[in-house]
Chain A
């Protein structure tokens, strides 16, 4: 791949990845999650406040004001990877239980999944996650297994997953925008983040 890029004569664009670009992707994900939630709630006729009190599906360290940008970004990265896994699992389970849907819902769902994937890549690039420790697997397998018993429980679980993605998308936007502003003020910050991780 490196040879090909070189042969093209263009400078590779990895260096252009920034917190601002990732924040833009996070905003897209937020909008698309919102659309998906609206669509799903209306289609399944579920109340908007259902599952509000349920515990979070993504298990990451709790937020703290004492976490620096690097740690916040790492926390976000872990959360997004779990969300991505949750999303893929939910889609697979839905397709398994309800059959493959090629309609608007499937499009929205796929879009959220792909956008989440891109956001995770971006955040990963920002934190240089390739060299970091392994990301813990989210502890929701039991929930998905239990959903086999009840279709309604599956719907509720899928809704929870969508809401979890929405939550972390918004969290990502907030973190990344803050980071983008900091990068704008101090361009060396991004390099320091990556070098610290390595």
Chain B
């Protein structure tokens, strides 16, 4: 090392004296083993500017403590450090700047080395080698693998592995180097029967390590090809045996092989290995025995060097399949029954079904069925066996697990049935299976407390048996929408798992039937009977229903209620037990929900709002989730059913009532109505006015006499309305005439304010009644107020016209007697405004009561009437003549034709 340093120094000095360092570290570029101490020495050369005391060491930019220094002499200082990391580091030797020269020439007073740190090579472990076959020979290539510690990946000092293979007695050694952990050596030939020595050497800068030697027979490393030409032969006389022939992969001169044979029913991966001890070495054929007849087997062979622990097992040969010959069925057919209630009363519908025997040993072509049934009407037990042959098609027999329906029989409740079945294939007949269906009431209940639970993807069930003495076996039956399946369990079994293809989200109805021997029927028969089952429903795994119930209205919605009905979700779409239904119904933004039990399929929504559109849907829930059904919309009625009818009927009845009342009123008041609408007008021709004389005593004056105007005597035919109307048309002209005539009549009534208030004009009836009394005399007159005589000034304003009842003794009209009538009259007066302040005096000659009407009693009414009518008269007086012209004519018309001579 020192020489290297010297060389280094001299080389630098030769090349460039200016950059030559006065410090040199030895050793240069060291490769250090991790975990060891490393010592470096810094030597001062060609200068007296510094001494060893002025030197110090720096590692990774940190000064190494002085206790790690060793002063060798005045010009050399060493340092010892522990290498404990894999990271390469620079180690520097520095000199303190104790003189200006050193300060100026810093580069000459520093030197460094790179510390490369590696691990020593690790010993390769677990060396294994293999030589494979190609064509008829073992390739002369030996491929070896070993394990390493992984340190060889150090880039600064990688580890190289050399594989050595030496053929003993031969001087030739084959080797190959690699940086990995596998290598392959190619020899001249593969040295069968020779000894090989194989080892691996790992080497890096720190040295080398050698693996364990594999000092083995060369054949110890051989892996041959699998046997070729594997053929399997069957023999019809040996239905349980197959003969296997093959060709060794290599000549026996090279290697003597032993074999391993495995087989399984085709399609299965449960291989059965023939024990190695049963297979001799160096053979080329083997006979498999105890196989199942009529079964396709897959067979494979592999080989290995026969020497103990030599070589590797070859790969398995390709699968070769062969079917064993048929044999007669060696097990019973799997007979079972499905019993359902018949359409006929007190009868059962029994379906006999059957699966092929487990060891059918060939294609089952038919079943022989023997049935013995007891008819109800046969009490003596004289029953005969019926023989039925059920042929199977090729399609049916292709699947041995398929259920064959043998026969359907109607069996009365009080009858029993016994069945024997045998299965037949092309070789022979199976053992016989028997089963009896007992009288329904005699079915023994031997199973109880059936429980089912899912576990690890299977449905387990557990039950108790009430009596174990007579039970021969249990049949576990499960029925789904897909179909029916069953399995047989030993009489001592109390817990089992369903062995069929149990699917998730499918509801299975699981039943456990006891099969027992006993007496049954009449006459009592000892037979193997089917007992009464314990049944339960279960899911392997539940999920949310695939669809929700479809809701609809049962009937049209009412005003406040609607009845919803929905169907149960089909079984195959439930995916679980329905725990409840939730009814949703919404109007506008408000959603209501009601939860009902799972057994409810209809519900009446109440408290609905009339004439409102509702959306409704049903959500079905299981323990695993919920699914909403389809939406249904409906609108509630505006009126409740019958409400309209009630209204119509009410209105109709009311109308009818009104009509009836009107009719009754008309009937009972026909006289009044007649008087109102068709008043009786006295015949002027019969008037007693002709007997009237001025001497006729007048009634005492009344307070309103001063307002009376002229009195005109109407002289017309009351029936001559036409003439009245015609005259009314000339009302205006008549008014003028009236004014003119008032001058002539003033002497009659003295109605002028200037005249005597006692003046009146009346039409009195002729006869003695008139003469009896003034009070009882009824006068018919019209009192017309006028503004006064022509050329005279009235005592009251001329516009004010006051009508006053005359003092006639003529009886009043009903309208005057009765306020209603008065109102009617007032309405009449309104209808005839052209007759201002017209005071009418009705007179009914037909009414005896009217004749008795007392004039004194009438006076207050007259006063009231007068008071009431005067304002009207004022108003009427203010109306224009034109208005008066358009008014209809009243029956009480003023006298137009003048007066009779007085």
Contact = CB atoms under 8 A, between A and B. Distances in A.
Contacts of A5: 197, 213, 215
B215 A122 contact: no
B169 A10 contact: no
A8 B213 contact: yes
Contacts of B167: 118
A56 interface: no
A17 B792 CA distance: 190
Nearest to A121: B169
B546 interface: no
A30 B169 contact: no
A27 to B, nearest CB: 4
A28 B253 contact: yes
Contacts of B170: 117-118, 121
A21 interface: yes
Contacts of B137: 111
Interface string B146-181: 000000000000000000000111100000000000
Q: Determine which residue in A8, A117, A122, A125 has the highest number of CB atoms from chain B within 10 A of its CB, and name it.
A: A8
A171 to B, nearest CB: 16
B212 A8 contact: yes
A122 B192 contact: no
A183 interface: no
Contact of B189 (A10, A27, A111): A111
A28 B168 CA distance: 18
A21 B193 contact: yes
A183 to B, nearest CB: 15
B318 interface: no
Contact of A8 (B193, B195, B199): B199
B370 interface: no
A190 interface: no
Contacts of A71: none
Contact of B188 (A7, A31, A110, A121): A110
Given A117-B170, A121-B169, A10 B215 contact: yes
A118 B215 CA distance: 17
Given A8-B210, A30-B253, A115-B189, A125 B215 contact: no
B271 interface: no
B194 interface: yes
Interface string B219-237: 0000000000000000000
A18 to B, nearest CB: 10
Contacts of A31: 251, 253-254
Nearest to B256: A24
Interface in A1-41: 4-5, 7-14, 16-17, 21, 24-25, 27-28, 30-31
A4 B165 CA distance: 12
Interface in A87-123: 110-111, 114-115, 117-118, 121-122
Interface string B184-216: 000011011111010100000000001011111
A190 B633 CA distance: 109
Contact of B168 (A9, A11, A13): A13
Contact of A17 (B169, B199, B214, B215): B169
A111 B215 CA distance: 23
Interface string B519-548: 000000000000000000000000000000
Interface string B136-150: 010000000000000
Interface in A109-150: 110-111, 114-115, 117-118, 121-122, 124-125
Nearest to B216: A13
B193 A13 contact: no
Given A14-B169, A121-B170, A114 B189 contact: yes
B189 A25 contact: no
A9 B194 contact: no
A27 B254 CA distance: 8
A25 B169 contact: no
Interface residues of A, number: 29
A9 B213 CA distance: 7
Contacts of A125: 169
Contacts of B253: 24, 27-28, 30-31
Contact of A122 (B169, B199, B213): B169
Contacts of A4: 199, 210
Nearest to A8: B213
Contacts of B193: 21, 24-25, 28
A25 B255 CA distance: 11
Contacts of B213: 5, 8-10
Given A5-B197, A12-B215, A25-B193, A114 B210 contact: no
Nearest to B167: A118
Nearest to B201: A4
A28 B192 CA distance: 8
A117 B216 CA distance: 20
B252 to A, nearest CB: 9
Contacts of B188: 110, 114
Nearest to B166: A1
Contacts of B214: 10
A25 B192 contact: yes
B169 A110 contact: no
Contacts of A14: 168-169, 195
A122 B621 CA distance: 87
A114 B188 CA distance: 7
A88 to B, nearest CB: 13
Nearest to A20: B193
A114 B172 CA distance: 12
Contacts of A28: 192-193, 253-254
B373 to A, nearest CB: 79
A115 B187 CA distance: 12
Contacts of A121: 169-170
A114 to B, nearest CB: 4
Interface string A48-60: 0000000000000
Nearest to A111: B189
A13 B219 CA distance: 14
Interface string B588-605: 000000000000000000
A51 B473 CA distance: 85
Contacts of A10: 197, 212-215
Contacts of A117: 170
Contacts of B168: 12-14, 17
A124 B168 CA distance: 13
Contacts of A11: 215
8 contacts: A8-B212, A16-B195, A17-B169, A24-B192, A24-B253, A25-B192, A117-B170, A118-B170
Given A13-B195, A14-B168, A30-B253, 17 more contacts: A8-B197, A8-B210, A9-B213, A10-B197, A10-B213, A11-B215, A13-B215, A13-B216, A17-B195, A24-B192, A24-B193, A28-B192, A28-B193, A110-B188, A114-B188, A118-B191, A121-B170
Interface of A: 4-5, 7-14, 16-17, 21, 24-25, 27-28, 30-31, 110-111, 114-115, 117-118, 121-122, 124-125
Which 10 interchain pairs have the tightest Cβ spacing?
A8-B213, A10-B215, A13-B195, A121-B169, A114-B189, A24-B193, A27-B253, A114-B188, A10-B213, A31-B253
